[in-house]
Amino acid sequence: MRGPYQILWPLLSLFLVRVDLTDLIPIRMSVEILRVYDGDTVLIRRGRFEAKVRLSRVDAPEKGQPFLLSNTDAGQFSQKCLSRLLKEKGELDIYGLDIYGRILGDIDRVSFRLIQEGCASLYPHAKFTSQNEKYEYLRALIMAKRKKRNLWAFGGIEQPKAWRSKNKKRFRKRV
């Protein structure tokens, strides 16, 4: 016969594994920016540790994704825009991990500046700490579109998530 601890202990351990401290408070640390992969992913270093960081709340066009009104590569345009906004060093706020094992975070609030400058779109499933923060991002996106900044000067882009689903052969699942 099984004791109650033989049943409860595995259930308790499952709960403990799923608790993530970044759900309570984002972790903040100084990092060095090594490389900009695309409009929303960078390589950072802290000491000997290197990792990819996926900027939260933004969805930048993929490399090879064209503008709506021109055949120019919107992904490269967004990558150059992110490179221009980032400095060599910055403060990284970590919010968690994405499904590919990259760190989800923000460096010196560059996600907001990308939207404000018109270099990226708002991620459809972005999580915000408050309604005010969400409205701040939405207002910045609307103003960038209205003033035709950067991506929006060339007619805008198709939502990157929708473009990826149409071009699935180009984007195989990462392990």
CA distance 137 to 44: 25
Q: Which band of pLDDT confidence, cut at 50, 70 and 90, is reported for residue 119? A: very high
Let me know: does 143 contact 116? Beta carbons within 8 Å.
Answer: yes
Q: Which pLDDT tens digit goes with each residue over 26-79?
A: 789 999 999 999 999 999 999 999 999 999 999 999 988 999 888 889 999 999
For the chain, the domains span 25-156
**CATH number of the structural domain 25-156:** 2.40.50.90
Map tokens 């805008």 to a residue: 156
Q: Tell whether the model's pLDDT for residue 14 goes beyond 70.
A: no
CA distance 6 to 124: 42
Better-scored residue on pLDDT, 4 or 42: 42
79: which 2 tokens? 């990558």
